[in-house]
Structure 1
Amino acid sequence: MIIPHEQLDKDTLYNLIESYVLREGTDYGEQEFSIESKVAQVKQQLHNGEAMVFFSELHESVTIISKGEFKALQSDTPFNE
């Protein structure tokens, strides 16, 4: 289930994004970016619709996924979570 990021408390959203950034260990190329910079990039992706907050009822967890990951989830399962 998609949760509109605008409906989350700003501190909750920040903590979710920060947890995602730290967990993912995303490769940003040769240049190093601060945690704050990475958080800002993910916030922008959420704002642009390139990423979304996703709650899995099956796993009882929430995470951030890309639009492509969401589409893949929809095509892999016969029902939406």
Structure 2
Amino acid sequence: MNIDYDQQNSESKPPVAIPVEQLSAEVLDAVIESFILREGTDYGVMEISLDKKKEQIHRQLKKNEIRIVYDFNTESVTMMTDLAWKKLPKS
């Protein structure tokens, strides 16, 4: 099988928002925890527990302040603010 990687990379797809309702509680928890751990643990003067940070993210998701986003190009899932999502170019 011969793959033309240059052609494959030039065909980028825009990211998609994943509705929280479509994720099981276990998957949602794993996505949130992965995001928190990837973002680091320096919260300034006061240290925030993992559970507290998870609660904050759940609250932001319910208020539609942040979105879970899948990027086809990097094959990764992340979170971003609603404002950042709206600024992304759409195809």
TM bracket (short chain) = 0.7 to 0.9
Counterpart of 1:40 in structure 2 is 55
Q: How does 1:1-12 map to 2 (within 5 A)?
A: 1-12=16-27
Q: TM-score, normalised by structure 2?
A: 0.74
Question: Where in structure 1 are there 5+ consecutive unaligned residues?
Answer: none
**For the pair shown, which has the larger CA radius of gyration, 1 or 2?**
2
Q: Which amino acid aligns with 1:38?
A: K
Q: Which protein has the bigger helix share?
A: 1
Aligned-pair identity in percent equals 39
- Residue from 22, 28, 32 that aligns with 1:17: 32
Q: RMSD across aligned C-alpha pairs, in angstroms?
A: 1.6
Segments of 4+ in structure 1 off by > 3 A? 26-29
Which of residues 61, 66, 80 is equivalent to 1:51?
66
The count of residues paired between Structure 1 and Structure 2 equals 76
CA 40–78 in structure 1, closer or farther in 2 if over 3 Å, else same: closer
What is the identity, as a one-letter code, of the residue corresponding to 1:58? N
TM-score by length of 1: 0.82
CA 1:11–1:78 in structure 2 vs 1: closer, same or farther (change >3 Å)?
closer
Residue ranges of structure 2 left out of the alignment (5+ in a row): 1-15
Q: CA deviation at 1:29?
A: 3.8
Q: Measured at CA, do residues 60 and 17 of structure 1 come closer, stay the same or move farther in structure 2, by a change above 3 Å?
A: same
Cα distance, 1:72 vs structure 2: 2.3
